[in-house]
Structure 1
Amino acid sequence: MMALWFVISLTSCGTSRIIVKKNSNTLTDRLPQPNSIFIITKEDPDLGDSFLIGTIATKHNGFSGDCNLRQVKRAAEKEAKEIGGNLIFITKHKLPNTLLNPCHRIRGNIYSVPNPEAFEKEILWNPNRKLKVRDFKGSTLDKPYVAATNTYFGYSTSVKSEENLVIVEVDTYFDCELSYYKNNKNQSLVLNHEQLHFDITELYARKFIQRLHQEIKNFEDLIKNVERIGNEVNKELLLKQEAYDKAVYSDLSQQSYWDKWTETGLRELDIYNSKTISRPYRKD
């Protein structure tokens, strides 16, 4: 099951300023070991075995910088990690206001949790993070297959008006709650097959950003063409995912061919692995 999520979030806003207050009574020697998994959630999690180690609030300065929600979360994550946190529970989220404050602003509590993966709802593609059985959290009731993976890519945009730039950033996601896995004796084979679905989606996310580099010259081009380009790339992605399943289901030995095909494709498009593009916002 595949989906393509497109979001245009145009903001011209102030660089985020992060205020972190660390609890003075936190016993750092009792904190879990650092974990590469980091969670930001608005849903009140069950944190019985966790440590509240501080609070966080984002503010803004001026009217230029990086403060769309993606950028604000990224900055907050960096600061929370500095004091040993691996989960932020957002208690307040103020949306941008064009006249008064065009930035996303969040407040929340910083926790150190022993099992951050339990709170994951989606996973960003990372070459060093392979899917595990625990990542598949969807119900298997009445499901026809041994496993199913739901992956998609999407983009966000922001405007740096002082630099006359529009920035497009693309991410590739695995949806934990819409993906399922049934226990079976071929765990490694099944996980490899599902991982490749995720990798193929990343490959087409890079194809999408490649198309933007080739066809988008300015903000006007972006508005006119981004939906068309996205729909075209997504159609190609869906056809490729279907071809992959059909080939491997009919002949398991085909898995190695698709492993190599995807690896080669990702390597050839490695120049686009940041999945970011900047173009002039206004015509000179």
Structure 2
Amino acid sequence: MNRKTATALIAFPAVLILTGCSISTSPDEAGLIYDAGPLSKTSFQECVAPSARVFYGPADQSFTYPAGQRTYVFGTGEESDIATITVADRDGIDLGVVGQLRFTLNTDCDTLVQFHEKIGLKYEGGQDWPGILAVYLQQPLRKAITEATQGMTWRELYQDPAAKATWEKRVKDTLPAAIEQATGGEYFTNIDLSLQKPVLPKELTDQLLATQRAAEAAIAQEEENRRLELKAQGERALIDLYGADNYVVLKAIEDGKIQILPVPQGAIINLPAGDR
């Protein structure tokens, strides 16, 4: 073997290392590596756990998916993943539903491979995560909320805490099966849900506000009537005690219409003849 051939053989492994690739997963990620060489059929090679780094060949492929609990927010805030969900109650009144859906993607190796090959590959190898959630979480969520709301009225959900709790529980109980039906497997686990009080249509909110203001005005009027009645009772008691004429004088003194000047004991007071 000449020197030139030996040098080439020694350098060859270094070329493989320099042209190879690696996948580094964060603590909330899990990965997959597929053998995708030009002379072989693409096939699964290995799973990559969270917080790991694995090297693979230059022709192979790697994919990453979320690991650990995730939160899917629906509402109007900046942190929301999707807008408020609109459903109709038993009377056909449109209600806005705001809340949070918590879940975990099942990253068990065999299950994650199935999820990737069945669903992830249709969404850019899992890179279009919002697209996956829109189909396999959002649609089942809408279905579960719609079915739970159809049997209740907005007044029950908005004003009765017990009815609202029952409604929320119905959604929680039916949601896992709806998600599994949509995905065709137990790919999402640890599903939990919290729903806020439904958002009413503006015209209905305005009516409730007007009713509340009218009720508050009625209460205020009742309080004023009670105050006036107590005052009248006190005046009648004074009239009975002092007589009507004396009460008029007493009232005039209280209102400042008649001034009373203090007179020292023994002082002589001269009154005009007409005032005697």
Greater Rg, structure 1 or structure 2? Answer: 2
Fold shared per TM-score above 0.5: no
Q: Structure 2 length normalisation: TM-score?
A: 0.24
Q: Structure 1 length normalisation: TM-score?
A: 0.24
Indicate the structure with greater strand content.
Answer: 1
